[in-house]
């Protein structure tokens, strides 16, 4: 094949391959290189034609200057060498493009599937980060129950009610480790209780919002004054996308009423048996009163944390685990190993940024 035929072949091949999305970038570069080679080749051809005419005229006596003929002869040889190099480049480029074009359909499909998987993964990450970002950046500074404020209140719970409860035990000469374990268990149980209770409340609200509102039961009063209930005879389904959109208003409603519901949730909590506290402690009026106060305050604050979107998280250090200064500070004793966790760290959400460090006993 001649160089011009090679150029035409490569151009056609590039047009076909450019249709494949996964090779656009490579083919774009190859096409640019091809245009440069083509331009250089055309320039060389023109120069060769000019030199051929010059040499012919020189031998016929039209041009008398022998130096010009010698110079033209040298240029002609240089251009011939350049054209040979361009022929080799054209051939290599054609082979490379042919290799791209001949790749199997299965291989291309695998590549496309891989790109789609990466795209889906990135989209999921963007969506997750957007949710987290919205909960942080769109914060109403006038809201007394925003996360930063709740962290302050939770810290004061440790400074006041926790200390008071601890002191009431201390007066009875109870071992420090035993008292810490009891108070820690209160917080852990309050955390679980609030999480489980919130799920129950949300299920009931969701049931009302979706079932009762979409398919209302209406009381009718007859002429004689009797009341009876009527429901629709239709069966109308609700799209899943509509159900998902209900979650936002439900969460807003829970946050709006959390200061009231939190007090009721706390009262329910203290009615539960305290199996983890020895009966001899509960018989003491001072201890019982301090524990009730501590428990009620803890549940109210933790309930407010749980109705945030996303819910705030309490993180405890496991005994014998390595001390993490990013998450905890020391109680009395320091050390690289955790002996006992006194108070949990507070995270903005699960695996989220640290809002307040917890407290541990080191060893």
CB distance 302 to 191 below 8 Å = yes
Which phi and psi (to 5°) does residue 220 adopt? Answer: -120, 140
pLDDT at 137 over 50: no
pTM: 0.59
Listed residue (261, 338, 270) closest to 304, CA to CA: 261
Q: What is the pLDDT of residue 12?
A: 61
Beta-bridge mates of residue 38: none
Query: Over pLDDT 90: what percentage of the chain?
Result: 37
59 is written with which tokens?
């031998």
Q: What is the pLDDT of residue 180?
A: 93
Q: What is the pLDDT of residue 6?
A: 57
Residue 100 vs residue 298, higher pLDDT? 298
CB distance 250 to 213 below 8 Å = no
Give the mean model confidence (pLDDT) for residues 44-56.
Answer: 56
- Return the CATH number of the domain spanning residue range 312-363: 2.30.22
In whole angstroms, give the CA distance from residue 307 to residue 201.
11
In whole angstroms, give the CA distance from residue 360 to residue 331.
6
Listed residue (322, 324, 327, 314) closest to 339, CA to CA: 322
Q: Which residue has the tokens 């096409």?
A: 31
- The DSSP code sequence of 14-62 is HHHHTTSGGGHHHHHHHHHHHHHHHHHHHHHHHHHHHHHHHHHHHHTTS
In whole angstroms, give the CA distance from residue 121 to residue 284.
58
Domain extent listing, the chain: 3-103, 312-363
Q: How far apart are the first and last CA of the chain?
A: 83
Listed residue (205, 167, 26) closest to 100, CA to CA: 26
Residue 231 vs residue 263, higher pLDDT? 263
3-state secondary structure of 64: coil
pLDDT at 187 over 50: yes
pLDDT at 239 over 80: no
Q: Which residue has the tokens 């999921």?
A: 124
pLDDT at 293 over 70: yes
Q: What is the pLDDT of residue 350?
A: 93
Q: What is the pLDDT of residue 61?
A: 43
pLDDT bucket at 232, cuts 50 / 70 / 90 = confident
Beta-bridge mates of residue 328: 358
pLDDT at 218 over 70: yes
pLDDT at 344 over 60: yes
Give the mean model confidence (pLDDT) for residues 253-269.
Answer: 93
pLDDT at 100 over 80: no
pLDDT at 81 over 90: no
Residue 340 vs residue 115, higher pLDDT? 340
Query: Over pLDDT 70: what percentage of the chain?
Result: 67
Residue 53 vs residue 236, higher pLDDT? 236
């Amino acid at each position: 094949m001649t160089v011009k035929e090679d150029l035409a072949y490569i151009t056609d091949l590039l047009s076909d391959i450019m249709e494949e999305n996964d090779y656009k970038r490579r083919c774009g570069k190859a096409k640019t290189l091809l245009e440069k080679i083509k331009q250089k080749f055309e320039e060389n051809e023109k120069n060769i034609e000019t030199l051929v005419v010059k040499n012919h005229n020189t031998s016929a006596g039209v041009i008398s200057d022998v130096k010009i003929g010698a110079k033209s002869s040298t240029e002609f040889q240089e251009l011939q060498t350049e054209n040979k190099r361009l022929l080799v480049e054209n051939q290599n480029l054609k082979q490379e493009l042919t290799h791209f074009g001949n790749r199997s359909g299965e291989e291309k499909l695998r590549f496309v599937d891989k790109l789609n998987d990466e795209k889906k993964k990135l989209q999921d990450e963007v969506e997750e980060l957007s949710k987290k970002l919205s909960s942080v950046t769109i914060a109403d500074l006038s809201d007394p129950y925003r996360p930063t404020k709740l962290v302050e209140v939770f810290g004061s719970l440790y400074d006041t009610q926790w200390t008071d409860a601890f002191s009431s035990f201390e007066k009875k000469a109870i071992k420090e480790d035993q008292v810490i374990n009891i108070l820690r268990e209160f917080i852990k149980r309050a955390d679980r209780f609030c999480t489980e209770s919130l799920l129950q409340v949300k299920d009931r609200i969701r049931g009302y919002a979706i079932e009762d509102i979409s398919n209302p039961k209406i009381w009718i009063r007859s002429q004689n004054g009797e009341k009876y209930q009527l429901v629709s005879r239709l069966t109308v389904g609700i799209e899943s996308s509509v159900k998902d959109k209900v979650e936002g208003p439900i969460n807003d409603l829970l946050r709006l009423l959390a200061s009231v519901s939190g007090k009721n949730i706390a009262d329910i909590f203290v009615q539960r048996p305290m199996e983890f506290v020895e009966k001899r402690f509960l018989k003491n009026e001072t201890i019982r009163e301090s524990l009730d106060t501590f428990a009620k305050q803890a549940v109210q604050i933790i309930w407010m944390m749980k109705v945030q979107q996303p819910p705030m998280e309490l993180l405890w250090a496991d005994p014998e685990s390595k001390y993490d200064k990013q998450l905890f500070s020391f109680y009395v004793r320091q050390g690289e190993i955790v002996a006992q966790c006194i108070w949990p760290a507070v995270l903005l959400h699960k695996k989220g940024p640290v809002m307040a460090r917890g407290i541990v006993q080191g060893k």
